[in-house]
Amino acid sequence: MVKIPKLVPTSQFQTIYVINGGKDLTKSALVIGGGIAGIQASLDLADRDIHVYLVEKEPTTGGKMARLDKTFPTNDCSACILSPKMADCAGHPNITTMTFSEVVKVDGKEGDFKVTVKKKARYVDPDECTGCGDCIVKCPVKNVPDQFEYGLSTRKAIYIPHAQAVPRVAIIDPDNCRMLTKGKCGICEKTCQKGAINYKDTDKEVVLDVGSIIVSAGFDVWDASIATEYGYGRYANVVTAMEFERMMGASGPTHGHIQMRSSGETPKKIAFVQCCGSRSEKDGWKKYCSSVCCMYAVKQAMIVKEHADIDEQIFFMDIRSFGKEFEDYIHRGERDYNIGMHRSSRVSHIEEDQETKKLLVNYSGPNGDPLTEEFDMVVLSVGLNPPAGVSEMAEVLGIELNEYGYCKTNVLNPLATSRPGVFVSGAFSAPKDIPTTVAESSGASAKAGAHIVDKNFVPAAPKEFPKETDVSGQEPRIGVWVCSCGINISATIDVKSLTEYVSTLPGVVFAKNSMYACAQDTLKEISETIREQNLNRVVVASCTPRTHEPLFRMACREGGLNKYLFNMANIRDQCSWIHMHEPEKATLKAKDLVRMAIAKAALLEPLQESTLPVTNAAAVIGGGITGMTAALDIAAQGFPVHLVEREAQLGGNVLKFRHKEDGIEVQDFLKEMIAKVNANDLITVHLNSEIEDIPGFVGSFKLKLKGKDEIPVGAVILAVGASQYKPTEYNYGKDDKVMTILELEAKIAENGFKGKNVAFIQCVGSRNDKVPYCSRVCCAGALRNAIKIKMADPTANVTVFHKDIRTYAFREELYRKASEVGVIFLRYNETDPLPAYDGKTVKAIDCILGSEVSVPVDTVVLSTGLTPDREEKEAIAQMLKIPISKDGFYFEAHQKLRPVDFATEGVFVAGSAHWPKFMDECMAQGSGTASRALTVISKNALSSEGIVATVNETYCDGCGVCEGCCEYNAIEIVTLENGVSKKSVVNAGLCKGCGSCVAACPSGAMEQKGFKSNQIQAELDAFLDFPVGG
């Protein structure tokens, strides 16, 4: 038992909390890195009632994602989806964020680490600083290159890192501050009304007691100046992708306009040069594939195209769109956006015309010919690097790094480092995209939590808010915030005139335009204005309530206002974005939308939430490697799990794998895992089990298995996997020469393979008209076996027929090795049919030669993809009311930041049921769902929505129409004491708030809180009683 040391509050919210009511806590967890990886890991632990220290070396959280403009493949605004998480993290009572801090020492062992953290001198007291920025205006030191903008703009010597920084407090750069370098100046000290400036500030050390550590230290961008052949740093119009991303950003140095550095003009023609720093053995370059560059280049090209008609061309070797719905995205870029795609075209060097500053891009064409094309601007798709100082960090943490300088992990234990109790998530273990990072971070938090939760574990206390003000009987006093969302809204909608209009509407006593309504400073302003102006309703006109309502509701609660006294007008997603070319009409529409929201807000009433009981157990559907991982991780924190498998044994698809990972036979590993599951008292395995139904809702599901009593569970994890595609091509099943990869692997393992002329055919059952997606795992599977064949028999002829080779991240080593041992790669055109096979030879048109090549074969190996088994998935989907993606996999709540959740609470998805993926990715995701499920089942009760049905007894005559249409049995017709009259009664705990009974009620007695008839009518009237635009 340790006392939490008093730490510097990290946000304005923090000051109002006392962690766990000041009581003793058991151990905390430590998360290193405040990017999206660290944020997710912290939030999951905190939601599981474990206290977290989040240590970030930069002065703000957000990491690299905060620098991105948009994210693929949804083109979501990065800041818009990240900001709520940053704010959640900063406002969470169980998270103590320590920015501008570094871990300098780790003593002890798992379950009991003593970690020394150095809090670097900020020279500004974060307790006192309000982030007003007055000091920044007055600071005389200009022109310091702004690192957040990659030097594309300048900042002062005292600065706030960026508009959405968390915490939003100033910091002095000691290398450029006149007072700190020369002892003369002191202007900021004189300017600051709060006395927050402290030139004598020093680094401080604190020691933290933690049970486990998650390292989410992220990555750095590869230094493009190493690629001297591309002229970065010498040629004005060669930029890196990160610089380009900042230019795209509305809040970036060029306010969203793409400009040539040579002239400030918009380029007419841009080249994107892929694999800059990746997939090469050149000095200083990285051998691995950086995994994300193909997708982000297409994203950048698409977004730029939306704003200006620019000729854009991408030069690449292979396009690596292996993720969920990535292939569609690439096609969309090529087809709908006319982005030029130069396949098999690596850029050798770039020359600059010294007069015009135009750039000559030299590349090898698909058939190997040297070609040249002139461009106005070149974007280098720079790869990922391990973070700066990684060796020192590894030494401090006592963890090993791999040959590429990333954190060393193991395919069979993907979230563990070499030191027990220290886990890893995100790009610190390999280059990867955001959804994979988020799933891993949840997973790492499940692993880390297991070292903290023991019999002495005391959960951290729930968040406390200021007492709610009683607003009953008051006239509406409405405060309205109109968001510009950078320029996402203000580029189309005249926010100034909108704000002015809003201030004239009845009930509105405060109206203001904000750059970002969701930024920390605005949220704080909302809370403060509620008090100062005695607001009793708040309306925010910005994006969608689906993502941002919880955040603003929280700000209302901080201001002492019941969170249901808040309403949102969606003027971005449903106005500025869909009417980009009609700014006047969009502005009029926005006025209508805000007027409607205000009209409804005026009638809103404070609501109270009821609590729902929670069954402290989980169901995991699917006994493969994903499901078993999830089950073990949940059991490790002391909760019972029901693991359901339809087959007679556990193991799933992995039972068919016959290879080694990191020197260990996968089958041996699998046997051990199955034994662990069977030996665990908390895990009940249901084999040969078929699911009849899973009725219920978060906290209270009932798992109904055929022929068994129903089992109550609080959460459900779907790990039902996917199947190998059964080929109908190549006479499979009739021709002995034709086999799948797994069949080949089994033959090799049994020393029964004697093939001399082997052809691998990629994308059988993937990337075609019927199955448009890439199955992600087949390239690596084929190459692994191609190498085995060549190693065993160097005289064997092995040819791989492919469209692209997608050995992403460190799997690129397979590609390199295969080429080295003499595997022949034959690329055929993406739009061509599969290579022809006549029983003796395989034929295809070789892109390099431009003519047909015929390869004699004695073995044809089909790289078959995964099929989603849509029918089976749909059956379960209907039971749980969850969606299926267009490709037939489960469709998660949000492709980027909620990769294992569903919109339906308490249900989660992992493994290849979500999308085809490798074993390590399946296990990491399995752990991720365990963590998400633990945030539900570890609670004694959940609080339900306040939006439920309610009966006005005066009008109700107990007719029972409502009872009949309630899907949740939440309504009961009771006979009153007089024995005659009947009335309807709603069980608020069971009611899900759909409002079906309300529309059905013939007497107007039934109402839906938050969506009352008079509130909906007020919205209607506010639209229809006025001319368009008011």
- Cβ neighbours of 320 (radius 10 Å): 29
Identity of the residue, 205 or 582, whose beta carbon is nearer to other proteins in the bound complex: 582
Residue 992 host element (H or E): none
3-state secondary structure of 108: strand
Comparing CB distances to other proteins, the nearer of 836 and 1020 is: 1020
CA distance 238 to 234: 8
Which tokens is 1003 given? 């007497």
Could you please report the per-residue DSSP string of 300-326? HHHHHHHHS--EEEEE-SS----STTH
Q: Which residues lie across from 612 on neighbouring strands?
A: 942
Q: Which two tokens stand for residue 272?
A: 């994107």
Distance in angstroms (rounded) separating the CA atoms of residues 799 and 997: 65
Q: Can you tell me the distance from the alpha carbon of 845 to that of 242, in angstroms, rounded to the nearest whole number? A: 38
Q: Minimum distance between the CB of residue 256 and other proteins, rounded to whole angstroms?
A: 14
User: What residues line the site for other proteins (CB under 8 A)?
Assistant: 74-76, 306, 544-546, 570, 572-575, 577-582, 585-586, 588-589, 592-593, 596, 878, 881, 883, 885-886, 891, 903-904, 947, 965, 967-968, 992-996, 998-1000, 1008, 1011, 1013, 1016-1017, 1019-1021, 1023-1025, 1028
Q: How far is the CB of 883 from other proteins (least distance, A)?
A: 6
Q: Which residues of 861-896 are buried (b: 16+ CB within 10 A; e: fewer)?
A: bbbbbbbbbeebbeebbebbebebbebbbbbbbbbb
**Least distance (Å) between residue 953 CB and other proteins:** 20
Residue 741 CA to residue 784 CA, distance in Å, equals 10
Nearest to 497 by CA among 579, 586, 570: 586
The Cα 503–Cα 134 span in angstroms is: 28
Choose between 367 and 878: whose C-beta lies nearer to other proteins: 878
Question: How many CB atoms neighbour CB 502 within 10 A?
Answer: 28
| 138 or 257: CB nearest other proteins | 257
Closer residue to other proteins (CB): 581 or 770: 581
Report the residue number, 225 or 1017, with the smaller CB distance to other proteins: 1017
Separation between Cα atoms, residue 163 and residue 252, nearest integer Å:
10
**Shortest gap between Cβ of 996 and other proteins (angstroms)?**
4
Nearer to other proteins, 347 or 997 (CB): 997
| Backbone φ and ψ of 486, nearest 5° | 65, -110
Task: Name the minimum Å distance from CB 516 to other proteins.
Answer: 17
C-beta closer to other proteins: residue 802 or 1009: 1009
Length of the chain: 1030
* Single-letter code of the amino acid located at 1014: N
In angstroms, the Cα distances linking 13 to 20, 92, 365, 504, 708 are 15, 8, 57, 32, 49
Name which of 648 and 1024 has its Cβ closer to other proteins: 1024
Helices 36-47, 919-937: inter-axial angle, 10-degree rounding: 40
- Give the nearer residue to other proteins in terms of CB position, either 833 or 883: 883
A 10 A CB-CB count for 724 gives 17
Instruction: Mention every residue, 6+ apart, whose C-beta is less than 8 A from residue 437.
Output: 36, 37, 40, 425, 426, 427
Which helix (H) or strand (E) segment is 583 a member of?
helix 583-602
Q: How far is residue 309's CA from residue 332's CA, in Å, rounded to a whole number?
A: 16
Phi–psi pair at 599, nearest 5 degrees: -60, -40
Instruction: For residue 742, give the amino acid letter.
Output: L
Q: Is the Cβ of residue 239 or residue 590 nearer to other proteins in the bound state?
A: 590
Nearer to other proteins, 133 or 1029 (CB): 1029
Indicate the residue among 374 and 967 with the shorter CB distance to other proteins: 967
Residue closer to other proteins (CB basis): 440 or 592:
592
Nearest approach, Cβ of 75 to other proteins (angstroms)? 6
Q: Alpha-carbon dihedral of residues 906, 681, 662, 753, nearest 10 degrees?
A: -100
| Nearer residue to other proteins within complex by CB, 153 or 904 | 904
Distance (Å, whole) CA 19 – CA 425: 26
Neighbouring-strand partners of residue 972 = 985
Work out how close the CB of 251 gets to other proteins at its nearest, in angstroms, rounded to a whole number.
Answer: 19
Q: Which is nearer to other proteins, 198 or 950 (CB)?
A: 950
Closest contact distance (angstroms) between CB of 703 and other proteins is 18
Rounded CA-CA distance 540/542 in Å is 6
**Minimum distance from residue 702 beta carbon to other proteins (Å):** 15
DSSP of 702-764, one letter per residue?
A: EEEETTS--EEESEEEE----EE----STTTTT-TTEEEHHHHHHHHHTT----SEEEEEEEE
Cβ at position 547, least distance to other proteins in Å: 8
Query: Shortest approach of other proteins to residue 548 CB, angstroms?
Result: 11
Nearest distance from residue 590's CB to other proteins, in Å? 10
Q: Is the CB of 271 or the CB of 330 nearer to other proteins?
A: 330
Closest CA to 564 of 538, 598, 530: 538
CB of 633 to other proteins, least distance (A): 28
In the bound state with other proteins, the residue whose beta carbon lies nearer, of 664 and 1020, is 1020
Nearest to 376 by CA among 304, 272, 268, 231: 268
Q: Least Å distance between CB 322 and other proteins? A: 20
| Chain centre to alpha carbon of residue 799 | 38
Q: Rounded to 5 degrees, what angle do the CA atoms 262, 263, 266 make?
A: 110
Cα gap 329→773, rounded to integer Å: 10
- Contact partners, residue 686, CB within 8 Å, separation at least 6: 642, 643, 644, 645, 705, 708
Q: Write the secondary structure of 184-217 as one string of H (helix), E (strand) and C (coil).
A: CCCHHHHHCCCCCECCCCCCEEEEEEEEEEEECC
